[in-house]
Structure 1
Amino acid sequence: MNMTRPTRLIITVLVLLAAGLLLWTPIKKLLFGTPPVAPSVLVSGNIEAHQSVLSFTEVQAPISWLPFDEGKSVQVGTVLAQVDDRLYRQQLQIDRTIMAVAQKQVAVNESNLAAVRNTVISDRLDLANKERDFVRDQSQLKINAVSQQAFDLTSTVVAQAAATLARDQALVQEARDNIDLARASLASDAAKLALDQVTLSYTVLKAPFSGVLAVREAELGELAGPGVAIFTLDDLDHVWLRAYVNETNLSQVRLGEPVAVSTDTYPDHRYHGRIGFISSEAEFTPKTVETHAERVTLVYRLRIDIDNPTHELLPGMPAEATITLLPAGK
């Protein structure tokens, strides 16, 4: 079939365009050269994680329950160990008994206060009655209706009634003071009970965060106490690489910059990280850390936070990170 001239022209243009596209890359390299690759620096160090050495505090007793071994993954709040708590439970029972006695003492003192108040009411009525007798005898004495001796006796009785009232009023204040003391004692006993409840809670060792039990340092039946390590717990969800960058490259490294991390253990896997910390103080290169660039006198510490969802990265594992160097001052 014969093609028309416009058709042949279109085909010719398409062929030339395709050839141009194929030849553009080598022609571009010939004319402009190979585009520059962003400079980078390779740093090395060791994987670190938040580690917590767990021990019992405030209590000392033999370990009675220790269900987990090394390598076990645990969630926050998981009971890891428990010591014999019989002594602490007995102390708690004693505190409850003492507190019950203190509560009864408060009730007794309140009852005493009520009784003394009733006595004061009775004393006032009695005094009022004797004062009326005194006024009547005083009038009778003026007309010689009673003897002086009888009047003197009435006066004495009034004075005695007044003294009795004053004494019982003082007993009211004493009863109030006794109630205050009993309530203060009750509050002290309640505080002691609460403290012993807290102490009892220390007989149970719980995981402060989710992680992996890296080291088990105690056995069932051993005496546990403050400062005696039971477990070392690693938080493998949040690991980082401690590395050092030369002073000459410091101005080309940025916080939050993405970093590719690799390890000898998994050489074909690249872990995603980011620079989470750059030290503001220079230090001499640690003997255990070497940079791949020429060693200089001063270096700056970096913390490269790494995603570790599968818990492949473990504390102490050597690793390397490739950091792209950015233009200085930008």
Structure 2
Amino acid sequence: MKSFYLLLSGLAFLFLLSCNKSKDNYDATGSFEATEIIVSSQANGKIVEFTVNEGEQLQQGQQVGLIDSTQLHLQKMSLLSNQRGVRAQQPDIRTQTAAIQEQIRTLEREKARVQRLLASNAANRKQLDDIESQIDVLQRQLSAQTSTLQKNTQNISAQGSTLDIQIAQLEDQLEKTRIVSPISGMVLNKYVEMGELAGMGTPLFKIADTNTLYLRAYVTNDQLAQIKISDEVTVSVDAGDGKMKPYTGTLNWISDKSEFTPKTIQTKNERANLVYAIKIAVPNDGYLKIGMYGEVVF
């Protein structure tokens, strides 16, 4: 009988030992989180279109809504009209100076004729001097007129550039009336409905990149010496029926500051007072969910 009790005690010890090992076959535990973004309104106005639904998968750059842009469109049309009017005032320097240039060319031909006559003593010097004087006057007039027209052109170009900038600003504001998804991911929360008024900075919806989730866990100082960034680790999650589903994750962040052990102990060594937070990137096959717990083996 005594040997029976000894055998029974030994079996009980082995059972407890195996239970203890099954509970401690991990180095740390934590919960999954994702990169979350709250998308806010970049314009003021009524939401005339909004097709976001919670749980929906969106692609980066996908338009999911629109804020009323009627007034912005009208302002742009007005500026475009003003721009056309300003451009129409642009002087044609070549056309407006053509008459003086033609007079100068005519006098140059006359000067050449008089010079030939003067060489054969068929003309006097005064005729040549008069022609040269007229050419000089016309060239000064041409220079003054060209300078005035160039200044007018510069002023009109400056006005046109100002209008171009104002139009570009309106186009930027019009672009911001489009509600688009900044990343590919799943909509977690929806904060507004179509028909509501939105102001600059009004939260519209929250989206998270669920293609890659991050297991946030804590390690002790002893464990910290055994790991480094880019290490591949094994992450396991509960698959039901007492089974665990393994994933391969990559250690991509280690906190450079220690902190006190959280209320929910997430390290194997429960006696540690100071721990370091880590993040492990795990590709999501669709099974992993935000907030789900996982176990880590280094």
**Corresponding residue for residue 61 of structure 1:** 45
**Corresponding residue for residue 217 of structure 1:** 191
Tell me if 1:99 matches 2:83.
yes
- Equivalent residue pairs, number: 268
1:55 and 1:265 map into 2 onto residues whose CA distance is 39
Could you list the runs of 5+ residues in structure 2 that have no partner in the other structure?
A: 1-20
The one of 275, 280, 288 aligned to 1:299: 275
**Corresponding residue for residue 260 of structure 1:** 235
Deviation for aligned residue 1:298: 2.3
Contact 2:215–2:282 at 8 Å: present in 1 too?
Answer: yes
**Corresponding residue for residue 155 of structure 2:** 181
The one of 18, 31, 34 aligned to 1:49: 34
**Corresponding residue for residue 327 of structure 1:** none
User: Counterparts of 1:1-330 in structure 2 under 5 Å?
Assistant: 41-57=26-42, 59-106=43-90, 109-110=91-92, 112-122=93-103, 125=106, 163=137, 165-254=139-228, 255-263=230-238, 268-279=243-254, 281-285=256-260, 287-290=262-265, 291-310=267-286, 312-315=287-290, 317-324=291-298
Q: What residue identity is the alignment partner of 1:275?
A: T
1:197 and 1:227 map into 2 onto residues whose CA distance is 19
Could you list the runs of 5+ residues in structure 1 that have no partner in the other structure?
A: 1-36, 142-150, 325-330
Deviation for aligned residue 1:202: 0.9
Contact 2:261–2:275 at 8 Å: present in 1 too?
Answer: no
Deviation for aligned residue 1:183: 2.9
1:266 and 1:88 map into 2 onto residues whose CA distance is 60
Deviation for aligned residue 1:192: 2.8
Alpha carbon RMSD of aligned pairs, Å?
A: 3.5
Q: Percent identity?
A: 19
Q: What residue identity is the alignment partner of 1:114?
A: T
1:123-159: CA deviation from partner (whole Å, max 9, x where unpaired): 57469979x7xx99x9699xxxxxxxxx9xxx99997
Contact 1:273–1:304 at 8 Å: present in 2 too?
Answer: no
Match of 1:320, SS state, is strand
Deviation for aligned residue 1:283: 1.1
Q: What residue identity is the alignment partner of 2:95?
A: A
Contact 1:56–1:227 at 8 Å: present in 2 too?
Answer: yes
Query: Under a length normalisation based on structure 2, what TM-score does the superposition of the two structures give?
Result: 0.75
